[in-house]
Amino acid sequence: MTHFVGLDVSMKETSVCVLDDAGAVLCERKVATEPDDIAVLLTSVGGDYVRVGIEAGPLSQWLVNALTEAGLPMVCVETRHMKALLKAQQINKSDPNDARGIARMMRAGLFKPVHVKTLAAQENRMLLTSRRLVQRKLLDIECDLRGTLRNFGLRVGPVSPTGYEARIRHLVEDFPALATIVEPLLSVRRVMREQLAVLHKMVLDTVRQDPVCRRFMTVPGVGPLVALTYRASVDQPHRFVHSREVGAHVGLTPRRHQSGEIDYNGGVSKCGDTMLRAMLYEAAQSMLCHSQKWSWLKAWAARVAQRRGMRRATVALARRLAVILHRMWVDGTDFRYSNIAVVVPAA
């Protein structure tokens, strides 16, 4: 007998609902949010499990990977899609009702699956987010010092990162109270700069050892951060059937609204991975404004900028970069600066 399972996960407990192929409830129970406990419960129920559904969330990657290793056919469902279906199915929201609704979705096949990233992609993503967090907090401390010292008529002005601490000490040397307050902030800033350098070196070492990231960096404007962000976000290139789907996945394609006689295109959707979209935009801007190497891609973006403006050309170039990087990854080829096809003579 085929069974369908819905899991509503929380930090401590998980509601489990098992349905048979006729839609009858076989088991409803709460267990600890541990893969072993969930697997033991499903094994005790028995039967042939077709789909085990779980909502995308903070614990979903850990549970999906662990339960997949236990031999269960796990399906991770997109959050907004699941919320809309559960809201249409039930009036009263509770963990058992949500688990029953997820099981019904698995039985009916009305779900939108989400790709669960590999462990290596999760580690690279954590490295990138940790580096960005330390960098932002470092900038917050520097900007806060600039703003508070300005209230006393002390203007920092343009200064290099290495000369920032000496400049602050020079400004507050005649103010003993301010010097006492500023000293802990300067110590924190010094430690954060050291740790930011450590994290940045880890990024460079990871990119240096990854042939895919080195291939991405043959594109002008694509540096180590952009290459590693693309590598960690896409994770597995073969989950996209066509390379053009990556642009829509990142949110760099325009929205469309069509209803009756109304039909128009809006701005870009801005859905998907925000970090990857920002990195692709920076890479496109670097290619257009700072790269000295001329290529067919930069010439195309320059023509778009003449017709539509620099901002739209940068967005269009970012979308095309996402498509080109995916095709380079699938084909295993480097970036070609000329779009003229190379004809290989026959042997």
CATH number of residue 46's parent domain: 3.30.420.40
Domain containing 34: what range? 2-108
Give me the residues paired with residue 49 across strands.
3
More confident residue, 345 or 15: 15
In a shared domain, residues 224 and 185: no
Distances (CA, A) of 233 to 126, 202, 207, 223: 11, 18, 14, 16
In a shared domain, residues 182 and 225: no
What pLDDT score does 341 carry?
56
Burial degree of 270 (CB within 10 A; 0-12, 13-18, 19+)? exposed
What pLDDT score does 344 carry?
45
Q: Maximum Cα–Cα distance for the chain, whole Å?
A: 83
In a shared domain, residues 182 and 243: no
Evaluate whether residue 244 is within a structural domain: yes
pLDDT class of 292 with cuts at 50, 70, 90:
confident
Mean pLDDT value of segment 152-158: 92
| Residue among 14, 93, 86, 87 nearest 52 (CA) | 14
More confident residue, 265 or 312: 312
% the chain with pLDDT above 90? 76
Q: Which of 149, 184, 209 is the last residue of a domain?
A: 209
In a shared domain, residues 144 and 174: yes
Instruction: Report the SS3 class of residue 28.
Output: strand
Q: Which of 209, 243, 278 is the last residue of a domain?
A: 209
In a shared domain, residues 83 and 139: no
pLDDT class of 261 with cuts at 50, 70, 90:
confident
In a shared domain, residues 101 and 137: no
What pLDDT score does 346 carry?
55
In a shared domain, residues 327 and 225: yes
On whether the CB atoms of residues 243 and 326 are closer than 8 A, the answer is yes
Burial degree of 230 (CB within 10 A; 0-12, 13-18, 19+)? buried
Residue 192 has pLDDT above 90, yes or no: yes
Evaluate whether residue 127 is within a structural domain: yes
Evaluate whether residue 24 is within a structural domain: yes
Q: Which of 90-99, 154-163, 243-252 has the lowest mean pLDDT?
A: 90-99
| Residue among 201, 18, 205 nearest 107 (CA) | 18
pLDDT class of 111 with cuts at 50, 70, 90:
confident
Distances (CA, A) of 258 to 41, 254, 261, 334: 48, 13, 8, 40
What pLDDT score does 84 carry?
87
Mean pLDDT value of segment 282-301: 92
On whether the CB atoms of residues 41 and 16 are closer than 8 A, the answer is yes
Evaluate whether residue 113 is within a structural domain: no
In a shared domain, residues 192 and 291: no
On average, the pLDDT of the chain sits at 91
Q: Are strands 2-9 and 48-55 parallel, antiparallel or unpaired?
A: parallel
What pLDDT score does 343 carry?
46
In a shared domain, residues 28 and 86: yes
Evaluate whether residue 346 is within a structural domain: no
Q: Are strands 48-55 and 25-32 parallel, antiparallel or unpaired?
A: unpaired
What pLDDT score does 293 carry?
86
Evaluate whether residue 344 is within a structural domain: no
Number of residues that this document lists for the chain: 347
Q: Give the list of residues 6+ apart from residue 54 with CB closer than 8 angstroms, or none.
A: 7, 9, 60, 63, 64, 74, 75, 76, 77, 102
Give me the number of domains the chain comprises: 3
Mean pLDDT value of segment 321-347: 81
- The overall pTM is greater than 0.85: yes
In a shared domain, residues 232 and 259: yes
Evaluate whether residue 338 is within a structural domain: no
Mean pLDDT value of segment 8-28: 92
Q: Which of 82, 108, 134 is the last residue of a domain?
A: 108
Question: How do residues 47-85 score in pLDDT, each as one tens digit?
Answer: 899 999 999 988 998 999 999 999 999 999 988 888 888
In a shared domain, residues 220 and 204: no
For residue 316, the one-letter residue type is: A
In a shared domain, residues 47 and 102: yes
Evaluate whether residue 273 is within a structural domain: yes
